[in-house]
Chain A
Amino acid sequence: MLEIKNINVHFGVIHALKDVSLTVEDGKIVTLIGANGAGKTTTLRTASGLKKPTSGSILLDGKDITATTPQARVKMGISQVPEGRRVFSTMTVLENLELGAFLRRDKDGIAKDLATVYERFPILADRKRQAAGTLSGGEQQMLAMGRALMSRPKILFLDEPSMGLAPLLVQEIFDIIKVINETGTTILLVEQNASMALQIAHHAYVMETGSIVLSGTGAELSQSEEIKKAYLGG
């Protein structure tokens, strides 16, 4: 479904991504793990169009989308839960969710998806009139996910969804990710919580200082001694 081919990204003189290539197959959960500053977020931002690569190409369903705008990519079915949640702080929870469906015109479909989001995250229903900026960290994370789902994405990018969540919720979020995936959404997941991510991922990539250094199935990698030592705290 999504193919990233040899992309390079620079921030001024910093060479943040070096010839990064990865593939996300239709209907799969793919995870990208790696230390702080490895370039995971940058990879996602480039894939969603917020950052232009200096070279390389990005393909969605075989079509080259490297030159398209983020808006166009949203239309094509890409959605992202950004790092740090980035909820619209002075807007209400409901308005945030509605913005998630910004490009959609089907009122009924939107209403249905809204109900689904509320079902998945009941706390959001309770707080629907509260300004998003005053939610707790975890609540904001749920809102960001709900918002991303409101566009009915074909492929969902998640940037550290478990960061700052309570253990119970971490479990829950990973369950939800699985459910979302099972209902037909392809997922590209960036995580610090490598053990959990590897548990649910079909395929995984490991990143270090701007390059992909390892890849394999989730199960394979969670057995790898190298990975255990570096990322699983084992």
Chain B
Amino acid sequence: GAKANENEIKIGINYELSGAVATYGQSSVDGILMAIDEINAAGGINGKTIVPVKSDNKSEPAEATTLANKLMTQDKVIAILGPATSGSFKAEIPVAEKNKVPVITGSATADDVTVDLVDGQVQYNDDGSVKGLKEYAFRICFSDSYQGSAMAAFAAENLSAKKAVIIKDTSSDYGKGLAANFLSTFMEKGGEVVAEEAYVSGNTDFNGILTKIKGMEFDVIYIPGYYQEAGLIIKQARAQGITDPILGADGFDSPTLVELAGADALNDVYYTNHYSSLDEDPMVVKFIADYTAKYGKEPDAFNALGYDLAKFVCDGLSRCETLDSESLKNALASTENFTGVTGSFSVDEKHNPVKSIVVIGLKNGEQDSSVKVSA
């Protein structure tokens, strides 16, 4: 029970530690645990230690639901972090609403995670409040529409692109969401998408698709997906002699992208992200240094978002009057100007972070430019 130890605050961790997307879950949890360690080392929350209750949902939404039930009813956690993917997170939300325990994710990007949408649009009640808001669900990452539209705008305005090819990851909601939003904004801006190709996560050979689009006319390639495949697509595209700009989203943000694609291939590559390492923000610099010291490798977007996620929740906890789920929810909803390594933000009425977005340009694998854009 929750009252078992007055000096502890239990936080549930419901992540994909095995199964198809274990890599996202594991990366997030690495970041989360590092943040919790830091907070506990610094005296915890009002003298109470944070105790993470870790569990593995096997990348299955039903398991995520079951575990959420377990964490809330049996372990009596004050809040749950995760899951990483929108599907599993959505599956968890009804449990959160029923038990009135907040659930917060660092990487579920689908537009309709925290609110119900009608035809992709948020609806409002007569009193101006958001209709269909998931009261107990929060996130600290971009939504797909935000990132997709931002990149479309960047392509049309900064790169003067008229024709684009989309190569999307059809197996993830992330890829699907980004692709759709990029497409609609790009067309609004007068552009044209000449081809929409698809792959599934785990694929390694994209030569067939690339040879096909090589014969087409286009200005940019948009790859809504994760670095695992994007790295290989970029590498194979460059090897085939496709030199056009390649665009992506925060799924590109990983040191492994450079290793997979090779520094030579990473020219004219742009992606939307939360922060840029060019920022030289001391917090970011320190995070990267600490993370590298702790885990022996540089952090990627999932690590950073996991780190911020734990910090964000602890920030909420420190502002709670009484340490219970209800006041935590209220504290989180009223977050203003939280500063994390993935940017500073406030929580809006839809329980999304209001964050600025940067477009990072790569040259020989190094971050070379960063442009702030708004969607």
Direct contact between the two chains A and B in their complex (CB within 8 A): no
Interface residues of B (CB under 8 A from A): none
